[in-house]
Chains A and B, each alone.
Chain A
Amino acid sequence: QQQVKQSPQSLIVQKGGISIINCAYENTAFDYFPWYQQFPGKGPALLIAIRPDVSEKKEGRFTISFNKSAKQFSLHIMDSQPGDSATYFCAASGNNAGNMLTFGGGTRLMVKP
Chain B
Amino acid sequence: NAGVTQTPKFRVLKTGQSMTLLCAQDMNHEYMYWYRQDPGMGLRLIHYSVGEGTTAKGEVPDGYNVSRLKKQNFLLGLESAAPSQTSVYFCASTFRGREGYGYTFGSGTRLTVV
Contacts and interface: CB of A to CB of B under 8 A. Distances in A.
A6 B40 CA distance: 10
Interface residues of B, number: 27
Contacts of B108: 41-43
A46 B58 contact: no
Interface residues of A, number: 27
Contacts of A29: none
B101 A43 contact: no
Contacts, number: 64
Interface stretch (A56-64, A75-83, A98-106): A98-106
Contacts of B96: 99
Interface string B3-32: 010000000000000000000000000010
A72 B85 CA distance: 32
Interface of A: 2, 4, 6, 9, 32, 34, 36, 41-46, 49, 89, 93, 95, 97-106
